[in-house]
């Protein structure tokens, strides 16, 4: 199995059990080893008292992109630490696109950066996630997936 095929297989298995991302209307647009892109449309239920996209929903989108990016190697991986910086507001009806990329991966630890953009290309948030692998895999380990 190629690294791309492995990334796609892991993402498919993860997506099937990810009711949070699915119920928020997220779509998985791209997956590759150490990379993921997801999008989500801001609905009325996702706005705050200022009429903007609630930061928690933007964080959730970035966190989901982070999760898919760091789980592309057949090693189940969880968040160890995450932070977000909000740059500009999102609004009702905006389509937000979160693009995650691997910065570093060594041993059981990884660092991933996620940029959240509006559909017009405006950067609205930067997220950094630190990951840690756990002792589980998505697919049985054999010479094809090792």
93: DSSP letter: T
Report phi then psi at 77, rounded to 5. -130, 140
Residue 146 is predicted with a pLDDT of: 52
DSSP code for 44: G
pLDDT band at 102 (very low <50, low <70, confident <90, very high): very high
**Per-residue pLDDT at 132:** 97
pLDDT tens for each residue of 41-82: 999 999 999 999 999 999 999 999 999 999 999 999 999 999
Please give the pLDDT value at position 97: 98
* pLDDT band per the 50, 70, 90 thresholds, residue 23: very high
* pTM score of the predicted model: 0.94
Give how far Cα 33 sits from Cα of 41, 109, 128, Å. Answer: 25, 15, 17
């Amino acid at each position: 199995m190629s690294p791309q095929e492995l990334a796609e297989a892991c993402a498919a298995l993860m997506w099937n059990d990810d009711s949070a991302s699915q119920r928020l209307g997220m779509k998985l647009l791209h997956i590759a080893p150490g990379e993921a892109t997801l999008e989500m449309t801001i609905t009325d239920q996702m706005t705050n008292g200022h009429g903007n996209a609630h930061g928690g929903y933007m964080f959730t989108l970035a966190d989901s992109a982070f999760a898919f990016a760091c789980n592309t190697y057949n090693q189940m991986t969880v968040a160890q630490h995450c932070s977000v910086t909000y740059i500009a507001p999102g609004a009702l009806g905006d389509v937000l696109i979160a693009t995650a990329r691997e910065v570093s991966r060594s041993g059981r630890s990884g660092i991933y950066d996620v940029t959240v953009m509006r559909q017009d290309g405006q950067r609205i948030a930067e997220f950094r996630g630190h990951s840690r692998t756990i002792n589980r895999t998505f697919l049985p380990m054999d010479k094809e997936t090792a």
